[in-house]
Amino acid sequence: MTKRWGMGLVALGLLAPGLTACGHDPVAAPTSPPSAMASPTATYDPTLPPARAVLALVPHDATTLSITDFDQVRAQYGAEPGDPGFWQDATKHSPLLSTGMLRPYAPQLRGFGPDDVAWEAHYSGADATSAGWVLAFGPQADMGAVRQAAAADAGPLAGAVVDTGSRIVSSRTLAADDAGWADVAALVTGPEAEATYVARGCLPGDDQGQRLEPLDAYAVSFGQTLATAYLGADRDDLFVRLRLGDGVPGFRTAFTHGAADPGTGRIGYRMTDPVDAAQQALRGKLPFAICGS
């Protein structure tokens, strides 16, 4: 498969208004700032970008959420569902937060497969009871076959909740008063991304003697070559948080050319290795998101 880099290279030539570098050459973050008033709908809305739509399907006790938009990744490669070579290229070059939970079970599935998944989300919390997942299937998928697989306890879909109308499959049913991450919606209102990582709270780490404001939640949006961290609007410590990454060798190798916009609470980076960058988010190795003392 021929790899397509055009969208990422075009984006690198643009500098978002108000985004300024600190000790590095400037690089763009997505140009649409998050809205402080944004919130998800009370129920799942398939017209929203995946990172926003899934918020209505995540329980309150979850503390981390990752979304991988396979349709967006396919668009970068000019691929269609089922194209040979897609998974090999994507897992080697794209910032996937999941490599496809159905892929190991593909031989057992009938009437659908991993190529029919449009996007996939996983969430976790303090214990196993707050962990789960959501799959969204594309229009070509046979949802009747998906329902049969769940009823037959096939692979990871055993006991899953299938909504054929919304084309959504979830690991659990949420009570009305348990669903939704409305308080983090403002962090995921940027441009549609290939993958998005969202976390409540902050990370343990070395604040390098710097004064940091409290951090209640953060999100990282991954494109093909650019990553943007959203920490909330009007932060006085954003440049300090940006500089924390300079002293962390693994981070500063994967995330380069940092630029910050305190007004919108964004830090933009160019990724030298998108695969490693995504894994650092999953492992909680993001110095800009530490708690401080």
The DSSP line for 80-127 is -TT-TTHHHHHHHHS--S-S-TTGGGGGG-SS--GGGEEEEEEEEESS
Nearest alpha-carbon partner for 119 in 73, 180, 175: 73
d(CA 48, CA 58): 15
Asked if 189 contacts 34 with a C-beta cutoff of 8 angstroms, the reply is yes
Q: Which residues pair with 62 in a beta bridge?
A: 125
- 229 and 200 Cβ atoms separated by less than 8 Å: no
Average pLDDT score over residue span 115-127: 95
Q: What pLDDT sits at residue 44?
A: 86
Locate tokens 């009437």: which residue? 111
C-alpha distance from residue 195 to each of 68, 214, 228, 251 (Å): 4, 25, 11, 18
Q: Where are the domains of the chain?
A: 21-36+181-289, 56-170
In this prediction, residue 194 carries a pLDDT of: 97
State the pTM of this model: 0.86
Nearest CA-CA partner of 222 in 25, 35, 7, 57 = 7
Q: Select the highest-mean-pLDDT range: 64-68, 124-128, 146-150.
A: 64-68
- Residue 179 confidence class, pLDDT cut points 50, 70, 90: low
The Cα-based distances of 33 to 224, 228, 233, 236 in angstroms read: 19, 11, 9, 17
Q: What is the mean pLDDT of the chain?
A: 85
pLDDT over 90 at 178, yes or no: no
What pLDDT, in 10s, does the model give residues 226-251? 999 999 999 999 999 999 999 899 99
**In 138-265, which ranges are E strands?**
161-163, 168-170, 195-200, 217-222, 226-230, 255-261
Looking at 16-20, 38-42, 54-58, 284-288, which range is the least confident one? Answer: 38-42
Structure confidence by residue, pLDDT tens digits, 250-263: 999 999 999 999 99
